[in-house]
Each structure stands twice: as C-alpha cells, then as structure tokens.
Structure 1
C-alpha cells in the first residue's frame, strides 16, 4: 500500500511543479530554512503561514492539509451569485453567496466579499457595502493586485465591473494578458478565471 503524502511532501511537490525556489515561496514572511524544515516534516507551520504558502503556490490550505482537490462548491456559489446579480436578482444573489462566504484563502475570500458588497449596494445597503470595501481595500493593497483593485473601485462607484470597457476584443486580450501574468506568478486560481473568461468571449464572438 503506497504511503500517504505528508503536508511537507505535498508542499515540496507543488513548489517544485511550479518551478519555485524556497526563497520565492517564503518571501519575507518566514525563512527558507523554516520552509525546508516544514517540507522535511520537522516543523509545523501555523495557520497564518499555511495561508501564505498556499497563496504563493496558487492552491488552498485545505488541499495542503488533506491532499484533496480544492472544492468547487465555493467557486460555483460565487459564480452563481454573480450571474444572478447581473440579471438583476440581488436578493437571490445574496442567498447564493452563503456557500462562498466561508472562504478563508486568498483570493477567493476577497472575490466573495467584493461580490457581497456589490449585492448589498444593489439592495440599497450601502453602509454595509462600504465597510466591506474599506476592509478589502487593505487586503488588496497588501497583495498589490491591480485587477481586483479595479473591481473594488467599480463596486465603490456602484458600477458593473467590465474588463475591456465593453469591447469584446479588448476584453479577450486583457483576460489573456492577465492569465499569462497570473501563470508567471504561480497564481493558478487567477489564471484559470481569466482563461475561462477569454474562452467564453472567444466562443461568443465565433457565433
């Protein structure tokens, strides 16, 4: 019977698959030596450190801990809420968000919170939306994520967020550019989101 992969082995495998060094993953948050000890099973990372590692590796804490593929439930809930909101069904969108709001990992947590702010603003609950936007601005600024900062600004203005400013060809190019950038930064979640968006736009324009 094959031995079960440990947390440290899983981190090392993903890191090597991404072509990332110990220094790249540790950044300025903890030492390379500590990460090496974690990979060897000699040190146990805190929840905060695990979140940092998962974020840098473009995966989720649950996957690092348990070896299960990240659940699609939260992503599905978020996308359903976005669709409902776009169709003017804000109350249903708010209910649909329930399953997405449990996300603790970047960037899913911020994406869900920004969608929640959009929904609340659509329902006339601007004060609640403003509180969320204020909190998420700090998170996004700390990450230096220009794409999500643009989404946040759109929420602040009460406008629907649009990549490419309504031009499908510009949107396709922008999504592909953002996807490539995310791939280089080992942010798999973001890359997948942008590649999906580009594919949908390409398929729609081909009809």
Structure 2
C-alpha cells in the first residue's frame, strides 16, 4: 500500500513470473490463486489486482489453472480469540447476519493445489475453477459454532453498509478505503460477486466444515 498503481504492480509481478517460467525448461504448469469475481473489471475494489493478474498470466505456461475461492475460515481467527474472553464477542463485516457467502479451509485449498500441480493427467491450456467449502456460511453460522466451542453465548456486531467506510478507515490508508469498501460490498446482497456463489460444474467442493476449522483455531 505504497501508492503504486494497481495495473503497474500487477503487470510487473506477472512479467517476473512469466520470465521465470520462460527461463525454465521444466515448468509446464501454473496455478494462479485468484479470488471470486475477479473476472469482473469493475465493482470489486482491491480485487482488480487479481483481475489484472489473471489476465496477464492466462497464457504464461502450457497449462494454467486459475482457482477462485471467496473467503477463508481463517478470517475468524480473531473471532475465536475474542469469543474465549470473559465477555465473548466478535465482529463481522458480512451484513446482514443471515447472508451466506462461500468460505473454505486454507488447508483444503493447499492440498488440492498441490495435487493439481503434481498429477500426471493432461490439463486444458486454461481452466478457471471456483473453490468453496461444503456449504455457504453466514455470520449466524459462525456465532452458532463459536458458542458450541466456548460453551456460552457470544455476542456479535456486524458492520452495516453505511458503516463500512468508517470500519476500513481504521485499518487501511485513506486512499485505499473505498477500494476495500467495494471489495467487501461486492460480496453482499446486490454485489457483483453474488452470481458466483452457486455451486456448478466449475466448482470444487472441499470437505472441511466451519466448525472443524474453528475448533482447530481455538486450540
């Protein structure tokens, strides 16, 4: 977050990767970790970096797989910590509380990615896949599972649409606030990412449940 133009940064990073692949005689397969909705060139905030990187790297190797998760269960690590305090609570930027979004385990993604890179089967020149957990997850689901883990009621505060800018202003430099607001709201009702929430033939469905991941984070 040093003010570098996102397109300049994306191209510079992608060119370095393409140069390394070209210089190698053994790299034939590339897996690009992207993100949901990165096929869009607007309405996605900071995810524009992924949009550009996906475009620049689409032909960087003989076989390119672009994998697009949405959110990771690990984002609730701080919620696990605060749920274990004397006054159990957590904050969610997902609003309303019953809104479900795709989430997944980082471990599941890592294991799948390793298999994709190492298997002997022939892959298409370019494939784009979504990578989600076994079911969509809402803040209410997180609250329920946290209460299961700590054995008592946990209070939840959600950041409404009107409060998103104020929330992100405490975390990122002012010039990036709107990009982060747009990133967050693209996953909320009416956002450009929402059509991608469906499980279809281009979706890899991982196995780890939210509760299992939260239990590990609580250890």
TM tier, smaller: under 0.3
Normalising by structure 1, what TM-score?
Answer: 0.26
Higher strand proportion (structure 1 or 2):
2
Structure 2-normalised TM-score? 0.25
Structure ranking higher in helix proportion: 1
Q: Which has the higher contact order (CA 8 A, sep 6+)?
A: 2
